[in-house]
Amino acid sequence: MSEQKQTLGEFIIKNQSSFQYSSGELSSLLNSIRLAAKIVNHEVNKAGLVDIIGAAGDTNIQGEDQQKLDVYANDKFIQTLTKRNIVCGIASEEEDDFISINSQDKNHQNKYVVLIDPLDGSSNIDVNVSVGTIFSIYRRVTPVGTPVQLEDFLQKGSEQVAAGYVVYGTSTMLVYTTGHGVNGFTLNPAIGSFYLSHPNMEFPEDGNIYSVNEGNYIHFPQGIKNYIKYCQEEEGDRPYTSRYIGSLVSDFHRNMIKGGIYLYPQSSKNPNGKLRLLYECNPMAFLAEQANGKSSDGFTRTLDVEPTELHQRVPFICGSKNMVEKAEEFMRNA
């Protein structure tokens, strides 16, 4: 008889004692992310019915306005995170400024801040391609009892206490780390529970997949151009396979399972690349390092970058260790 798999709820409780501050607050926070993920998943799954039940901007049968999915996801994560009295502030890729949870946390006793990209890759929704949610959790650095400040959000990625993503794919999965490895949970939609399906996820040290928007090739720095040519050369296990979904969470997830590298470099058009340090790169870099992978901008470790603004962008190279090191070598030598 097959062994009953652990649910995400059971796993969070069982591993609570391994957290640096094991007061149960981080467990509760992770549980609120689990809940919001299920709500957003339900809505994302219905996206293909938009022509039948109405598009964003229409009014539904209850007289409520239909929201765009990224706005919906943003609202649901913020609502769910606000309710439990653990989070003092939220910064979202969808919001210009950070949100201070003053209404619930009047005396500013809450200790955690959450940074979130509620629906990454949302341009893929119209064509039924996977999208994701990315989250990143820190302890506040300003004193408890005072209002949350910008500096609570502008912490280096190495200070993260937890990070993860939800991939709304052929199956919906929640993958996260609290600094003790990476575990993946698959949603059983019939029951509404996430089950531990991918314990101790690790990037293979080497891989043969490279993921980059090669349409931008002409604008890339010489080191990246040289690395892409290296991936395409016939030698040993090369040429590598090119796979680019254009949905960071899905590209990362595939590369972690199969072995590969994801690159969103700087270009003459976007000197800092496209991806956001705080909502996209840092959480993915934390997961990558916890999964035996590596992440940098070609020179500097992503988790060591000192953030200066909420929506800061950085070049991003992330994946199997040996592949990232090879790309870095090409950047140094260009």
Decide: residue 115, CB within 10 A, 0-12 exposed, 13-18 middle, 19+ buried.
buried
Among Mg ion, ligand AHM, none, the one that 246 touches (CB under a kind-dependent 5 to 8 A) is ligand AHM
Does 209 sit near ligand AHM (CB under 6 A)? no
Among Mg ion, ligand AHM, none, the one that 192 touches (CB under a kind-dependent 5 to 8 A) is none
> Would you say the C-alpha torsion 138, 144, 148, 152 has a positive or negative sign?
negative
Query: Which is closer to ligand AHM, CB of 12 or CB of 261?
Result: 261
- Cα–Cα–Cα angle for 208, 213, 215, nearest 5°? 125
Most distant pair of Cα atoms in the chain: their distance: 63
**186, β-bridge pairs:** 173, 195
**Part in contact with ligand AHM (CB under 6 A); list of ranges 114-122, 143-151, 199-207, 317-325:** 114-122
What mask of x and - would describe binding to ligand AHM in positions 255 to 274, judged by CB under 6 A? -------------------x
Q: Please provide residue 9's backbone torsions phi and psi, each rounded to the nearest 5 degrees.
A: -60, -45
Q: Please provide residue 95's backbone torsions phi and psi, each rounded to the nearest 5 degrees.
A: -115, 140
Contact 94, 118 (CB under 8 A): yes
Token code pair at residue 224: 């990246």
Query: Which is closer to ligand AHM, CB of 247 or CB of 282?
Result: 247
**Part in contact with ligand AHM (CB under 6 A); list of ranges 45-53, 97-105, 113-121, 304-312:** 113-121
CA distance 240 to 326: 13
CA distance 284 to 319: 9
Query: Which is closer to ligand AHM, CB of 88 or CB of 256?
Result: 256
**Part in contact with ligand AHM (CB under 6 A); list of ranges 135-143, 171-179, 187-195, 243-251:** 243-251
**Part in contact with ligand AHM (CB under 6 A); list of ranges 11-19, 115-123, 297-305, 321-329:** 115-123
What mask of x and - would describe binding to Mg ion in positions 269 to 298, judged by CB under 5 A? ------------------------------
Query: Which is closer to ligand AHM, CB of 213 or CB of 242?
Result: 213
| Binds ligand AHM by CB under 6 A, chosen from 192, 246, 325, 334 | 246
CA distance 80 to 166: 15
| Binds ligand AHM by CB under 6 A, chosen from 27, 74, 82, 122 | 122
Q: Find all residues with CB under 8 Å of 101, minimum gap 6, and list them.
A: 82, 87, 88, 89, 90, 110, 148
- Residue that is written with structure tokens 């929201």 in the block: 67
| Binds ligand AHM by CB under 6 A, chosen from 25, 94, 120, 289 | 120
Residues at the interface with ligand AHM (CB under 6 A): 93, 117, 120-122, 213, 246-248, 274
